[in-house]
Structure 1
Amino acid sequence: MEIRSIGIIGAGTMGNGIAQVAAGAGFDVILLDINDAALEKGLAALSKSLDRLIKKESTTSEQKAQTLARIKTTTLYTDLAAVSLVIEAATENQAIKEKILAQVDQVVSKETIIASNTSSISITHLGSLNSRPERFIGIHFFNPPPLMALLEVIMGKQTSPETLKAVLAMATKMGKEPITVQSSPGFVVNRILLPMINEAFFVLHEGVASPEDIDTGMKLGCNHPIGPLALADLIGLDTCLAIMEVYQAEFKDDKYRPSPLLIDLVAKGHLGRKTGRGVYVYEPK
C-alpha cells in the first residue's frame, strides 16, 4: 500500500497549503473545489506562498514551476477515481464533511485511502460512514501546512495498521514529523490548545487584563511564540468556537463551555485576520 497520488477536496487555506506540500514532495495532486473561482483563488494563494519561500531562499523558481505542474484542478468528484489517497480539507463542519466523504466513497477505488483533515471531529464516526472503514484515517495538518512540521495521524477504531503505515510513510516523504493518536475529540494538540485559548477569552471578558497584556504574558511567561488571542485571530474565531462546541457536546463537561465573548465576536462577524477584525483590528492587505 503505497501513496503516489493525492486528491485534495477544498482549495481554501488548508487545502491549497496541503496541495503545496504534497506537490512539492513529488506527489501528483488533484485539487477539487465547488467552482473554478474557488480553485483559481486557491492556486493564486499557493503561488504567493511559493514566492515567499523563494524570497527566503527556501525554494527556487524552478522548484515552484515543478510544484505547480504537479497540481491539476477539477470540480468533478469522478476525477478522483484513480488517486491513492483523498484528503477532505473542507471547513470544520461535521455535516459538510459527511456529505463530501459520502461522495468520495462512491467514486474512488476500493484500494484508495480516504482521510479527513479535521481538528476535532471523531475519525471513528466519520470512518463508520465509509464502506471501507479500515481504509479511513485522520490526517491533521496544522496552519500553515507548508511551514508547520507536525502532522497528527489519527486512528479510528477500525483503521488498519496497513493504512496507518502508508500514511506515516507519506508524512515522512513530505518532510513532516507525524505523531499517531487515537480518535478522541481534539486529538492531542487542539485538545490542550483550544481550552487554553478559550480561557484567554474568559480572562479578557472578565477585564483581568488587556488583550496585549494577556498575549505578552503568555509569550514571555510560557515561552509561546504567539499569544493565545493573536493565535485565535490567526486560526479564525469561528473555527475556535466550532471546536469548543464539539468538545462541549462530546464530553458534556462545562469546562469546555465557550466564552461568551468568543460567541459574541463570532456573531458580529469579527472572525480574526480573515475578516480584518477579531480580538485585534488588522490593516487591509
Structure 2
Amino acid sequence: MPPFPRIRVVGAGTMGRGITQLAAGAGCSVELTDVSATAVDDGAAFVSRMLHRAAAKGLTTAAEAEAAIGRIRTGTDPTAPSDDIDLVVEAVVERLDVKQRLFATLSGALPRAVLASNTSSLSITAIASVVADPSRVIGLHFFNPVPLMKIVEVVPGTRTSPDVLAAARAFVEHTGHTPVQAKDSPGFLVNLLGRGLPTEALAVLDEDVADAADIDRIVRDMLYLKMGPFELMDLSGLDVSHPVLESIWKGFYGDERLRPAGSTQVRVSAGLLGRKSGEGFYRYADGVPQVPAEHAAAPDPTAVPLHIVGGGPLADLLRARGVTVSDGPSDSAVSVVQPLGRPAYLAAIEHGLDPRRTIGVDPLGVPLLTAGYRVDGGEGEGHRARLAVIAPFTVDRDAGRRAVRALASLGCAITVTADGPAPVAQRIAASMVNVASMAAEKGLANPDDIDRGARLGLGYPLGPLAMGDSIGPQRILAILDGLLDYTGDPRYRASGWLRARADLRLSLLDPAARPHDLLG
C-alpha cells in the first residue's frame, strides 16, 4: 500500500504531468486537475503516451502501463472538496501569492490531506503561513523530467510535523526516487549547490582570463563534469539562470560567496539567452552549438629545455617524452611553475625566476597524465587529459611558444589562459567545494545528502564534498586563502566546515558532532 494511496495533482503542465505519471506508476490513484480543461485533456493524453512508451521500451509491462493509466482521473476544479484525498501536490506557476491563495483554499477543501508544493525556490514556511494547520504543509521538489530525475527534495517548513516529513520521505522512496532532505532556505539545496560552478566561471570570463569555450573544456576535462558552465547556462537559458543566481544571492543577504556577475543581466537585456534565442555564450545553427576550434600546439620535444620548479610527476613525464628537463633556471630554459591559489607571475617572483622566461601549469591537470588518462579524442568525445598552461603577461612570446610546444609533446590537449588570481580549474573547484561546505556548515542538509543531491540533481559524477576530498581539503583551503589574500575579495572566504576539516585532516563528508550528541 502506498503511503498516500489517493493523490491530487494541481496543475497539468510539464511538472504536474510528470508527477502524475510517477505516482500512478507507483500504484497511487491520481486525480490530475487544472482550471483549463484543455490542459487536463492534453496532460492525461501525454501521461498515457509516456506510460505506453515505457512499456514499449521494456521499462514496464503493457499490463502495468494499462493499470497505471486506469488509476488516473481528471478534473477541472483543483480545489473541489473531498475527504478521500491523502496528498495534494501543487505544481502551478512559481508565484508566492498564487500558491498562498491555492493553499488557503485547499486546506479547507481537503481536511485530511497533506499539502505539498513542488516549488523550486519559494519558502515552504511562507506558503504554509496562510494555512490553519501549517503542520501538514511540506515541500516536494521534483526535478524535470520527473520520471527520469531520481531525486526529490523533501523540504519541511518551520512548523511541518515530523509525521508528515516521515510520510513524505516514505512516499518518495515508494515511487523509486531518492529523497534528499533540505532546510527551508533560499533555493533549498540543489539550486544552492549549483551556484558554485557558474558564479566563479562568470568571474573568470569577466576578468578575460579565458573565453567561454576554453573554460568549458577545462571544467569538463579537469573537473570531470559532463558539461561546462556556459554549455549549461545556454541549455537552461540565461533568462532562467540569471534570476536564480540573483534570488539565491539576495536570499542569503548578499553573501559574497554567492555573488553573481553583472554581465548576465546585460546579456539577458541583449537577448543572448542561449539555445532558445539562437545565441548565448555560443552561437547555434539548427540547435547545434558552433564551438570555436581549439588552437592545437605542434608538439616538439626539442623546442626548448624546461625547468620544472619542484620537479615531480610533470618533470618525469616530460623526460619520458624526450624533453630536456634542466635542474634549474638558465638563459636557455623556460621555467614552469605550478601555482596553487596564486598567479603564476607571483610564483615566479617567489622562486627568484625571470618572469620573461616563466610560464605556469595548473597542477590539477597533472594527475590525469600520471594515471594514464586518455590523450586522444577531440571536441565532444568526452573527457581527455588536458593541461591548462598559464601565460603571465611578462613572458617573452617566443619563449612561451616554445615552452607550449615542448609541453604538447605529452600528447594531451593544451589550453592556454591568461594569468588570473589563480588557475581556472582551481578557482572553480574551490568555489564548488566552498558552497557545498557552506551548506553543510549551515545545516541545510547532511553531508551525504549534499553530495547525493549534487549527483542526482546536477549530474555531477562526484558530489562537491567528495570532489574536495579527492583534491584534498588542505589544497582547497590553500586555494581559497591564496585568492582571498591576493584579491581581498570576501567571495573567497572559506567556510568554517572546510577550514576545520582541513586543519584536522578529516574528510569533508565527516558529519559534525552536535551538542545533543553528548547528552544521550
Does TM-score exceed 0.5, indicating one fold?
yes
* 1:245 alignment partner in structure 2: 246
* 2:106 alignment partner in structure 1: 104
Deviation (angstroms), 1:252: 1.9
* 1:91 alignment partner in structure 2: 93
Q: Using the TM superposition, name which of 48-57 and 119-128 deviates more.
A: 48-57
Deviation (angstroms), 1:270: 6.1
CA distance in 1, matches of 2:131, 2:122: 15
CA distance in 1, matches of 2:263, 2:41: 35
Deviation (angstroms), 1:147: 0.9
Deviation (angstroms), 1:16: 1.1
* 2:33 alignment partner in structure 1: 32
After superposition, the Cα gap between the structure-2 partners of 1:157 and 1:203, relative to the gap in structure 1 and judged at 3 Å, is same
Q: Is this contact kept in 2: 1:80–1:86, CA < 8 A?
A: no
CA distance in 2, matches of 1:227, 1:173: 34
Identity among equivalent pairs (%)? 39
Deviation (angstroms), 1:173: 0.8
Deviation (angstroms), 1:76: 0.6
Deviation (angstroms), 1:271: 5.3
Equivalent residues, number: 283
CA distance in 2, matches of 1:171, 1:67: 17
Structure 2 residue runs of 5 or longer lacking an equivalent are 288-520
Structure 1 residue runs of 5 or longer lacking an equivalent are none
After superposition, the Cα gap between the structure-2 partners of 1:15 and 1:271, relative to the gap in structure 1 and judged at 3 Å, is farther
**TM-score normalised according to structure 2 size:** 0.49
After superposition, the Cα gap between the structure-2 partners of 1:14 and 1:205, relative to the gap in structure 1 and judged at 3 Å, is farther
Letter matched to residue 14 of structure 1? M
Q: Using the TM superposition, name which of 133-142 and 182-191 deviates more.
A: 182-191
Alignment of 1:232-271 (within 5 A): 232-253=233-254, 255=256, 256-267=258-269
Q: 2:228 matched to 1:227?
A: yes
CA distance in 1, matches of 2:49, 2:270: 30
Q: Is this contact kept in 2: 1:155–1:183, CA < 8 A?
A: yes
CA RMSD across the alignment: 3.0
* 1:13 alignment partner in structure 2: 14
After superposition, the Cα gap between the structure-2 partners of 1:9 and 1:177, relative to the gap in structure 1 and judged at 3 Å, is same
Deviations 1:31-61 (A, max 9, x none): 2223122233433443454455345422233
After superposition, the Cα gap between the structure-2 partners of 1:145 and 1:201, relative to the gap in structure 1 and judged at 3 Å, is farther
* 1:140 alignment partner in structure 2: 141
Larger Rg: 2
CA distance in 2, matches of 1:40, 1:261: 42
* 2:290 alignment partner in structure 1: none
Q: Using the TM superposition, name which of 200-209 and 111-120 deviates more.
A: 200-209
* 1:189 alignment partner in structure 2: 190
CA distance in 1, matches of 2:179, 2:3: 17
CA distance in 2, matches of 1:240, 1:101: 28
CA distance in 2, matches of 1:52, 1:211: 38
Q: Using the TM superposition, name which of 240-249 and 4-13 deviates more.
A: 240-249
Deviation (angstroms), 1:153: 0.8
**TM-score normalised according to structure 1 size:** 0.84
Q: Is this contact kept in 2: 1:8–1:29, CA < 8 A?
A: yes
After superposition, the Cα gap between the structure-2 partners of 1:35 and 1:226, relative to the gap in structure 1 and judged at 3 Å, is same
Alignment of 1:45-56 (within 5 A): 45-50=46-51, 52-56=53-57
After superposition, the Cα gap between the structure-2 partners of 1:206 and 1:157, relative to the gap in structure 1 and judged at 3 Å, is same
Alignment of 1:116-195 (within 5 A): 116-195=117-196
Q: Is this contact kept in 1: 2:182–2:189, CA < 8 A?
A: yes
* 1:70 alignment partner in structure 2: 71
Deviations 1:137-189 (A, max 9, x none): 11111222111112211111111111011111111110111122221112222
Letter matched to residue 98 of structure 1? Q
Deviation (angstroms), 1:129: 2.1
After superposition, the Cα gap between the structure-2 partners of 1:47 and 1:129, relative to the gap in structure 1 and judged at 3 Å, is same
Letter matched to residue 30 of structure 2? V
